């Protein structure tokens, strides 16, 4: 029996914020945002929505496509840095919403690399203990628009909200390869200050002072992050391809984390991937952090652009610093 991706699902909130809308909020321009980031619009959660709500809809869509219900799941892993609460975990809330009483659930925090880290963890659970864990729901969900300073043009133009879900499971009818062909994951905690949410945790609990000092907003050193993102995604992608003995021309799709079109272009160029191989939706979504790769995968699957046996290279980078790549067999 092989471990396969049984289905994907995704959800983005209805409200769309365009660059023209942002022009009215901060000193920016559609031209600057488009040329420096590739973003034209992004989705914003409704005031009553939280990450678990987005994750639940993505999960329900994936379950429906797989012909499963919450009762069929053995574990739920939610990758997010914008949980509803510090605790209970967002995964616990999703479990309640989809009636997955038999699943054990936890969140993982790896910023924009979250989905890749969670796919590796979900795969390892099934691989190590297939008699107990047969089906694992992995979700990347993020509402970064809840932690940006809407008066700071350096960050508020970059992010969007969304969720992407992937159901991993043992396929009894399939003796082919596992979905995970090769991976390469990394962390460099010495660069933790390049991207962070300074307050709200045990280091600096919320006080009137932390609010006044805008310490509950994303802090990002854009240029340094940019350089590290390109190097990390290129090196990890090369390592995963080498481990698999696969050349980039034999990959059907390359899906880089959707942070900035210039980062995506630089990574694609260095890997030697053609424009036809590289999937992007950053123009419509902005940076949805841990959700971005899951949303891309689901869009491709929904559009019928993924066939059984297609090789897909996914690569991500985020705060931590965290980064990695994974070669998938669809």
Interface contacts to ligand ACO, rule CB under 6 A: 28, 32-33, 36-37, 111-112, 153-154, 157, 195, 222-223, 225-226, 229, 259-260, 263, 287, 289, 318-319
Measured from the CB atom, the residue of 91 and 112 that comes closer to ligand ACO is: 112
Min separation Cβ 313 and ligand ACO, Å: 18
Q: Is 257 a catalytic residue?
A: yes
Min separation Cβ 81 and ligand ACO, Å: 6
57 backbone φψ class: left, alpha, beta (φ>0; ψ -120 to 50): alpha
Catalytic residue among 257, 281, 296, 329: 257
Measured from the CB atom, the residue of 135 and 219 that comes closer to ligand ACO is: 219
Measured from the CB atom, the residue of 17 and 33 that comes closer to ligand ACO is: 33
The Cα-based distances of 24 to 18, 37, 82, 134, 284 in angstroms read 10, 19, 26, 50, 19
Angle between helices 292-302 and 114-128 (to 10 degrees): 80
DSSP state of 24: T
Q: Is 287 a catalytic residue?
A: yes
Min separation Cβ 32 and ligand ACO, Å: 4
Question: Are the CB atoms for 318 and 263 separated by under 8 Å?
Answer: no
Catalytic residue among 43, 92, 105, 112: 112
Q: How many CA atoms lie within 13 A of 84 on its CB side?
A: 20
Min separation Cβ 264 and ligand ACO, Å: 10
Residue among 181, 119, 167 nearest 316 (CA): 119
The Cα-based distances of 280 to 229, 254, 328 in angstroms read 16, 9, 17
Measured from the CB atom, the residue of 41 and 260 that comes closer to ligand ACO is: 260
Residues 164 and 1: their CA atoms lie apart, in Å, by 26
Q: How many CA atoms lie within 13 A of 311 on its CB side?
A: 19
Measured from the CB atom, the residue of 28 and 124 that comes closer to ligand ACO is: 28
Q: Which residue's CB atom is positioned nearest to ligand ACO? A: 222
Catalytic residue among 19, 260, 281, 287: 287
Question: Are the CB atoms for 41 and 17 separated by under 8 Å?
Answer: yes
Min separation Cβ 144 and ligand ACO, Å: 6
Which residues are known catalytic residues?
112, 257, 287
């Amino acid at each position: 029996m092989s471990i396969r991706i049984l289905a994907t699902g995704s959800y983005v909130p209805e409200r769309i914020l365009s660059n023209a809308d942002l022009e009215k909020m901060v000193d920016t321009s559609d031209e600057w945002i488009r040329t420096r980031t590739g973003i034209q619009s992004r989705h914003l959660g409704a005031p009553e929505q939280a990450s678990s709500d987005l994750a639940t809809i993505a999960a329900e869509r994936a379950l429906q496509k797989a012909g499963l219900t919450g009762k069929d799941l053995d574990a739920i892993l939610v990758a997010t840095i914008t949980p509803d609460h510090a605790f209970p975990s967002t995964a616990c809330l999703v479990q309640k919403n989809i009636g997955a009483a038999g699943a054990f659930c936890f969140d993982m925090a790896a910023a924009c690399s979250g989905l890749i880290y969670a796919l590796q963890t979900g795969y390892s659970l099934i691989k190590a203990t297939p008699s107990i864990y047969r089906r694992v729901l992995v979700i990347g969900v993020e509402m970064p628009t809840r932690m940006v300073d809407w008066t700071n043009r350096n960050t508020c133009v970059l992010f969007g909200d969304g969720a992407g879900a992937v159901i991993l499971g043992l396929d009894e009818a399939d003796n082919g390869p596992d979905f995970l062909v090769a991976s390469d994951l990394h962390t460099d905690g010495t660069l933790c200050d390049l991207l962070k949410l300074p307050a709200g945790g045990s280091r600096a609990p919320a006080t009137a002072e932390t609010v006044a000092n805008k310490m509950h907003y994303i802090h990002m050193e854009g240029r340094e992050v940019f350089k590290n993102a390109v190097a990390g995604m290129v090196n990890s992608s090369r390592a995963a391809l080498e481990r698999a003995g696969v050349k980039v021309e034999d990959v059907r799709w390359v899906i880089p984390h959707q942070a900035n079109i210039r980062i995506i272009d630089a990574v694609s160029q260095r890997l030697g991937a053609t424009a036809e191989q590289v999937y992007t939706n950053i123009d419509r979504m902005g940076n949805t952090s841990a959700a971005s790769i899951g949303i891309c995968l689901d869009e491709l699957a929904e559009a019928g652009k993924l066939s059984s046996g297609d090789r897909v290279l996914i690569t991500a980078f985020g705060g931590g610093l965290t980064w990695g790549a994974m070669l998938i067999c669809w």
